Each structure stands twice: as structure tokens, then as C-alpha cells.
């Protein structure tokens, strides 16, 4: 089985987000980068399927040249190949991103005579949270798709994918080839092994230069929401604060 | 012209809170333009009451009751939608065996939006809302903007939008250029507000023309016998973070949650370390909670975690670090080691209840 897993490079933000002076981006000067959390799980899911049944995992990202770091992270945990859709640092919208990914999948089919059996995505990117790239790719390729998947089985008949929604388990049965987006919790991603890291370091990364397209949505600027920043009232230090905590819980009416 | 709003119902057919927020958001546009809000709901069968069988268009034989008001949002739902300013309630009738089929819904919405000359189609930013809207966007070759909190029309095909990034830790201001605006609504940002004057919405049904591909992917549903307090709806959540130190430390977290009739939550660090299951994770990539009381134990307060709990009414933090980001969000704090404080608190509460 040949799997294409699509990931996105995002900054590792911690306690608060700082913006660039022009207010159009996150100030990443002091930040490291990672792949979006749901996508770490998509990579893990892809690697597990191929470890069991054979085949290949190709990791793909659309991003600046530095996004090769995240492709190498995917290789370090078991992906076999990687493709960078290189951008000039401009942000790409979901429609254009989906078109560029679709072009890669179509080219793969033209070259090998077979489509990717499975295209895996994260349910939504940590930063922009657009919730649509996977679905758009599925429509462009004419594949069935399901999103937000938390449990996945694949056999010769196709994909059995489950998720929870409002206390109901929803099972989707899809023939292959298929497109799925997964959510964190579907698995616990592994840490890279030392041989994995070595392999990642040397791995060749294929590059494609897609052309930027507008998406109908034009960014004016970003801002940090005005939250009611409180300063917590200190009830005390250590176990000596326990009586004050009990009083508080009583006042809040949560003690039966 | 109209603003179409997809509304969801729970298992009992009650319109869910997030959809009332979506309708409130739709009024931002309709109030400005004078357009009518068309609420689109699903017939009972399409909501999953009989969705487990194999679906086929051939088996679509509809009985007369199907598509009636009682099978839609009900009299009560009708009145609620009227109170929120909906002018027209439209029941989407799908073949009886289909159940939740996102592409079929999107196709239905596309046809309905065309017939109603919609300037916008809106849904709550839920798993179903986002999924259906993404299909609608792909089918209609239109942009879709997720997690919107504000919208203002500035031109015939131009909207000024605010939307969430990073689970609400950042707001994006954008201009959307689209013949029909496809938006999902950040429901933790938009409160449900009744319309100044209630309307008496018209009721009708709409049976879309579907192809086999529209119904090929559909949910086979099964209801779980969920035990205990559900994290998403808990009135009290006691959450543990990396500061708990290990899986065994969660005994005290569980005990405290039990004494308060609440649920256990955890930070992402805890699930990544394998100490607790992901189903307990609170945050941007876990469950979003809005309890009356949130007790954060040994949690530093990364924005991804706060994205999942910032709507808690009262937040208490227990942490060794008085400079941790959580202190800027918590109402009350105890400075110190959770592994000493939690057992002492559990003891004090247990003795008190004796």
C-alpha cells in the first residue's frame, strides 16, 4: 500500500503568541517549529499500516525550504520518501494548497500507473485551522473521504474509520483509494530512533515549485484577542493553603 | 436573497446550542442586508434514527409522514428558531437509509442555497459543520472560512471577517471575496442571543437530487453506553499536567474529581507521555470544556491548553511556579507541589463529608 501523508510546519508556541511588527504573522524568531499535532498522528498511522502490510509512506509538505525539517522528522519515524512543495514564504490558502497536493498525487499516478492508496491528513492545522484541505483533495481526485478519524482499520476491502460525535460512534466504510483526516488520539506517535534520525539526515527530498494562487480570502492582519487578563488571587503556599481551598470550594457550591 | 444556516439536532431532536450560536452569527449578516435566514435541518431519518442499513437511492420510497414538521425540528424547535430570528425552516429530506452523509448534505445545501439565492451559507464550527461546509466548498468551487467570530458585508460579494487561529489564541482579520460566503462559526466566541422580535417561520421541506457518490460515504452509528461524567459537559473538571510527575500521581486527581462530582482532564504533555488516555485531554487538539470550575494541577498553561478551558467560569491553579502562564488566566492559585497539596485536599474533603 502506498500512502501519501500531508503535514504542515507550524511554530511551537508556548505561553503566549507574539506578532511580527507588521501584525501579519507570528513572530517566530524565538520559536522552534514542529508539525501540527494531528499530523504527527497521521504519520504514525501511515507508518504502522506500512509496517504491517508493506508498501511506502511518502511525506509531503507545502512550505518554505525550512519545512524540510518536518519532512525529515517524518522520515525519522518511518516515512520512506518526502516531497517539498516549496513556497516563497507567502501563506497559501486551503484551495491552492489542495490543488498543489492533488497535482502531486496525479503525477504519481501518471508515473507509476497506480494512485496513492491512501492520502492522510491532520483534521485541521494547528495555526490556520481551515478544516478543508483533505476534503478538497478528495473531491479533486474523485476519492471518498472521511474526516476527524480517531480509529482506523484498513484491509483488502477498504477502510473502516471511526470517530465520536456527540456521544455517538460514527463508522465510515470507504473503498480504496481514499482520503482521510485524522485527529490526535488515534495513536501515540513514536519517538524517532537513532537509525531513523541518521536515515532522515541523509534522505533525499524531492522538490516541486508550485505557483502561488490567491484564495478569495485576503489577510488584513492578526491580533491577539483582548482576554480578561487576571492576576490569580493567591490562596496560600503548600499544604497550608488547603483550608483556604476548602473554603473556596464551599463558596463555589461544588461540595455536596 | 437569503442567509442559509445549517442547524444540527441532538439525539432527541433538540436544536443544539452551537447551532443557535450559528443562527445568531447569521443575523450579523441578515440584519445588515434585510435578508431572510433560512434554517436547514435534517429529517429524523437522516439524523440517524434509521441510518444503519445499506443506503441506496432506489430504496428511497418516502412515506407521507417523512418530511413533516414533526419529523424535523418539532414544534419546539420551530419556536426556538423563530425566537432566534429564523424566517424559514427548511427540512432537508434524504433517502431514509442514508443517515449522516456529509456529501449528500452538502449537495442538498448547494441546491437549496441556489434556489434560495443565498448570499451566505453558515454552520457551527463543529465536526459535522466543518465537514459538510468543506464538501459544499469543494462541490461549489468556493472559498470556505472556518471559525469566524464576526462578519460584515462591505460589498455585494465582499465580507469583512474576523476568524480564530490557534484555537482562538489569535484573531485573523480578513476580507473575503466570494459570490456565496461559506462560513463556519467559532461557537465559543459567539454567544447565542435571541432576536429583538421573534418571527413565525414558515416550514417546508426540500428533497435534493442526489447521485450515488453523494451517499457513498455515510456514518453507521452506534450509541455508546457512556459511564461516568462526560468531560465535555462536566460542571467541574480537575486537570493534571506534567507537574503531577507520573501516571500514579493521578490517583489524587481522580479522587478530587470524584469528591467534586467532576471529570478528570489532562494536558497534552500527559497524553504524549502515555500517563493518561487522549480522551481526557483538554485543549486545542483534545476536548474543549466550559465547566463552572476548572482546577489546573501542575499545568503551566500553554495557549493550546488554555484554548480548551478558557471559557471555564472559575479557574483555580495549583502550581509550583508563580510565573507560569496559567497564573494570568486563573482566578485563584495555590503555590506549591500538587503532589503534596492534592492528597491533603482530598483528606480534608473526605473528613469533612464524614
Classified as helix, coil or strand, A35 is strand
Query: From CA A55, how far away is CA A69, in angstroms rounded?
Result: 23
**CB of A197 within 8 A of CB of A76?**
yes
Q: What is the mean pLDDT of chain B?
A: 90
At B261 the pLDDT is 93
Mean pLDDT is highest, among A161-165, A221-225, B134-138, for B134-138
pLDDT tens, position by position, A4-17: 999 999 999 887 88
Region B160-168: mean pLDDT is 96
Same domain, B210 and B253: no
Is B245 among the domain residues? yes
Q: Which residue bears the cell 491577539?
A: A224
Contacts of B329 in chain A (CB under 8 A): 227, 229-230, 232
Same domain membership, residue B119 and residue B37: yes
pLDDT value at residue B226: 59
Instruction: Evaluate if residue A1 carries a pLDDT over 60.
Output: yes
Residue A50 has phi, psi (to 5 degrees) of -75, -35
The pLDDT, as a whole number, for residue B52 is 35
User: What ipTM was estimated for this complex?
Assistant: 0.95
| Of residues A174, A134, A131, A167, the one with CA closest to residue A153 | A174
- Cell for B55? 443506503
d(CA B146, CA A138): 18
Show the cell assigned to B114.
Answer: 441556489
Instruction: Give φ, ψ of B262 to 5 degrees.
Output: -115, -170
* Same-domain check for residues B181 and B257: no
The kind and range of the H/E element at B343 are helix B338-353
Of A145, A171, A245, which is closest to B334 when you measure between CB atoms? A245
Residue B280 has pLDDT above 80, yes or no: yes
CA A11-A15-A21 angle, to 5 degrees, is 60
The torsion angles phi and psi of B174, rounded to 5 degrees, stand at: -140, 165
pLDDT band at B60 (very low <50, low <70, confident <90, very high): very low
**How distant is the Cα of A76 from the closest Cα of chain B, in angstroms?**
18
Domains of chain A in sequence order: 2-208 (3.40.50.620)
Dist. CA B320–CA B298, nearest whole Å: 7
B223, part of any domain:
no
Tally of domains within chain B: 2
pLDDT confidence tier of residue B166, bands split at 50, 70 and 90? very high
Mean predicted lDDT score pLDDT of chain A: 95
Domain that holds residue B190: 2-215
CATH of the domain at B305: 3.40.50.1220
Helices (H) and strands (E) in chain A, counts: 6, 14
What cell does B239 get? 486537570
pLDDT digits (tens, 9 = 90+) for B145-155: 999 999 999 99
Q: Pick from A139, A235, A252: which is nearest to B334 by CB? A: A235
Closest chain A residue by Cα to residue B138:
A136
* B62 pLDDT higher than 70: no
Identify the pLDDT of residue B95.
81
Answer whether residue B281 shows pLDDT above 80: yes
Whether the CB-CB separation of B107 and B139 falls below 8 Å is answered with yes
Residue B230 lies in a domain: no
Please answer whether residues A176 and A118 qualify as being in contact, where contact means their C-beta atoms are separated by less than 8 angstroms.
Answer: yes
What number is the average pLDDT over the span A18-39? 94
Claim to verify: residue B206 and residue B243 sit in the same structural domain: no
Segment A73-91 mean pLDDT: 96
Q: pLDDT value at position B119?
A: 97
One domain for residues B197 and B322: no
Give the pLDDT band of residue B54 (cuts 50, 70, 90). Answer: very low
Which B residues 91-130 touch A at CB under 8 Å?
100, 102, 125, 127-128, 130
The β-bridge partners of B38 are B4, B88
Same domain as B118, residue B174: yes
List the one residue out of B98, B112, B66 whose CA is nearest residue B213. Answer: B98
Query: For position B188, which CATH number holds?
Result: 3.40.50.620
pLDDT, tens digit (0-9, with 9 covering 90-100), for B167-215: 999 999 999 999 999 999 999 899 999 999 999 999 999 999 999 999 9
- For B:261-300, CB contacts with A below 8 A are 261-262, 268, 271-272, 274, 277-279, 281, 284-286, 292-293, 300
Q: Are residues B61 and B142 in the same domain?
A: yes
Q: Does pLDDT of B65 surpass 90? A: no
Asked if omega into A177 is within 30° of 0 (cis), the reply is yes
For the stretch B304-352, pLDDT in tens is 999 999 889 999 999 999 999 999 899 999 999 999 999 999 999 999 8
In this prediction, residue B323 carries a pLDDT of 93
Identify the domain boundary among B181, B215, B249. Answer: B215
The residue out of B185, B215, B245 marking a domain boundary is B215
Please, what sign has the CA dihedral across residues B286, A253, B240, B330?
positive
Cβ distance B23 to B141 under 8 Å?
Answer: no
- Interface-testing mutation among B51, B99, B166, B211, with chain A (most A C-beta atoms within 10 A): B166
Report the alpha-carbon distance of residue A75 to residue A50 in Å, rounded: 13
Mean pLDDT of A37-66: 97
Residue B28 falls inside a structural domain: yes
Chain B nearest C-alpha distance from A190 (Å): 10
User: Which of helix, strand or coil describes residue A180?
Assistant: strand
B102-124 pLDDT tens trace:
999 999 999 999 999 999 999 99
Distance CA B69, CA B91 (A): 8
- Whether B225 maps to a domain, the answer reads no
| pLDDT tens digit sequence for A179-225 | 999 999 999 999 999 999 999 999 999 999 999 998 899 999 999 98
Q: Is the pLDDT of residue B227 over 90?
A: no
pLDDT-derived band at B57 (thresholds 50, 70, 90) equals very low
State yes or no: pLDDT of B39 exceeds 60. yes
Q: What Å distances lie between residue B58 and B95, B96, B98, B217, B285, CA to CA?
A: 9, 11, 11, 16, 40
Is the Cβ–Cβ distance between A181 and A216 less than 8 Å? no
Amino acid at each position: 500500500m502506498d500512502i501519501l501523508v500531508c503535514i504542515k510546519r507550524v511554530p511551537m508556541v508556548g505561553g503566549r503568541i507574539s506578532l511580527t511588527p507588521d501584525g501579519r504573522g507570528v513572530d517566530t524568531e524565538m520559536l522552534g517549529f514542529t508539525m501540527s499535532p494531528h499530523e504527527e498522528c497521521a504519520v504514525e498511522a501511515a507508518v504502522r499500516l506500512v509496517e504491517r502490510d508493506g508498501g511506502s509512506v511518502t511525506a509531503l509538505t507545502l512550505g518554505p525550504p525550512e519545512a524540510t525539517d518536518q519532512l525529515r522528522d517524518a522520515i525519522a519515524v518511518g516515512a520512506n520518501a518526502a516531497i517539498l512543495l516549496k513556497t516563497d514564504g507567502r501563506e497559501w490558502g486551503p484551495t491552492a494548497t489542495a490543488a498543489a497536493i492533488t497535482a502531486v498525487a496525479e503525477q504519481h499516478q501518471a508515473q507509476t500507473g497506480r494512485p496513492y492508496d491512501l492520502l492522510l491528513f491532520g483534521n485541521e492545522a494547528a495555526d490556520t485551522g481551515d478544516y478543508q484541505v483533505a476534503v478538497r483533495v478528495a473531491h479533486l481526485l474523485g476519492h471518498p473521504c472521511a474526516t476527524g478519524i480517531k480509529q482506523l482499520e484498513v484491509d483488502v476491502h477498504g477502510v473502516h474509520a471511526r470517530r465520536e460525535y456527540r456521544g455517538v460512534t460514527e463508522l465510515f466504510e470507504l473503498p480504496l483509494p481514499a482520503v482521510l483526516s485524522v485527529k490526535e488520539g488515534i495513536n501515540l506517535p513514536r519517538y524517532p530512533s537513532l537509525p531513523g534520525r541518521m536515515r532522515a539526515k541523509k534522505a533525499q527530498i524531492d522538490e516541486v515549485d508550485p505557483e502561488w494562487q490567491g484564495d478569495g480570502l485576503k489577510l488584513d492582519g492578526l491580533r491577539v484577542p483582548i482576554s480578561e487578563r487576571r492576576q490569580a488571587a493567591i490562596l496560600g503556599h503548600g499544604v497550608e493553603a488547603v483550608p483556604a481551598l476548602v473554603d473556596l470550594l464551599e463558596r463555589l457550591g461544588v461540595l455536596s | 436573497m437569503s442567509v442559509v444556516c445549517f442547524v444540527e439536532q441532538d439525539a432527541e431532536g433538540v436544536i443544539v446550542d452551537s447551532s443557535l450560536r450559528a443562527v445568531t452569527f447569521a443575523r450579523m449578516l441578515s440584519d445588515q442586508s434585510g435578508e431572510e435566514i433560512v434554517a436547514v435541518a435534517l429529517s429524523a431519518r437522516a439524523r440517524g434514527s434509521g441510518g444503519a442499513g445499506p443506503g441506496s437511492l432506489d430504496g428511497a420510497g418516502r412515506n407521507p409522514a417523512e418530511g413533516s414538521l414533526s419529523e424535523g425540528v418539532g414544534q419546539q424547535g420551530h419556536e426556538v428558531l423563530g425566537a432566534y430570528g429564523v424566517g424559514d425552516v427548511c427540512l432537508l429530506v434524504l433517502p431514509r437509509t442514508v443517515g449522516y452523509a456529509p456529501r449528500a448534505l452538502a449537495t442538498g445545501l448547494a441546491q437549496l442555497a441556489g434556489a434560495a439565492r443565498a448570499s451566505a451559507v453558515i454552520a457551527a464550527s463543529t465536526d459535522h459543520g466543518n465537514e459538510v461546509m468543506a464538501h459544499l466548498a469543494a462541490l461549489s468551487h468556493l472559498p470556505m472560512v472556518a471559525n469566524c467570530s464576526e462578519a460584515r458585508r462591505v460589498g455585494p460579494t465582499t465580507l469583512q471577517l474576523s476568524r480564530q487561529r490557534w484555537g482562538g489564541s489569535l484573531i485573523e482579520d480578513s476580507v473575503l471575496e466570494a459570490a456565496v460566503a461559506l462560513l463556519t462559526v467559532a461557537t465559543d466566541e459567539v454567544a447565542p442571543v435571541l432576536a429583538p422580535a421573534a418571527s413565525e417561520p414558515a416550514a417546508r421541506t426540500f428533497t435534493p437530487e442526489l447521485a450515488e457518490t453523494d451517499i457513498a460515504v455515510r456514518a453507521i452509528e452506534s450509541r455508546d453506553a457512556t459511564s461516568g461524567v462526560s468531560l465535555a459537559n462536566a460542571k467541574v473538571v480537575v486537570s493534571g499536567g506534567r507537574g503531577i510527575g507520573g501516571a500514579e500521581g493521578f490517583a489524587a486527581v481522580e479522587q478530587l474529581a470524584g469528591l467534586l462530582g467532576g471529570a478528570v482532564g489532562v494536558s497534552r504533555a500527559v497524553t504524549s507521555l502515555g500517563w493518561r488516555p487522549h480522551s481526557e485531554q483538554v485543549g486545542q487538539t483534545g476536548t474543549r470544556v466550559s465547566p463552572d470550575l476548572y482546577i489546573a494541577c501542575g499545568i503551566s498553561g500553554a495557549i493550546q491548553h488554555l484554548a480548551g478551558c478558557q471559557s471555564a467560569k472559575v479557574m483555580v491553579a495549583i502550581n509550583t511556579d508563580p510565573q507560569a502562564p496559567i497564573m494570568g488566566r486563573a482566578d485563584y492559585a495555590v503555590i506549591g507541589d500538587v503532589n503534596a497539596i492534592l492528597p491533603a485536599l482530598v483528606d480534608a474533603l473526605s473528613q469533612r463529608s464524614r
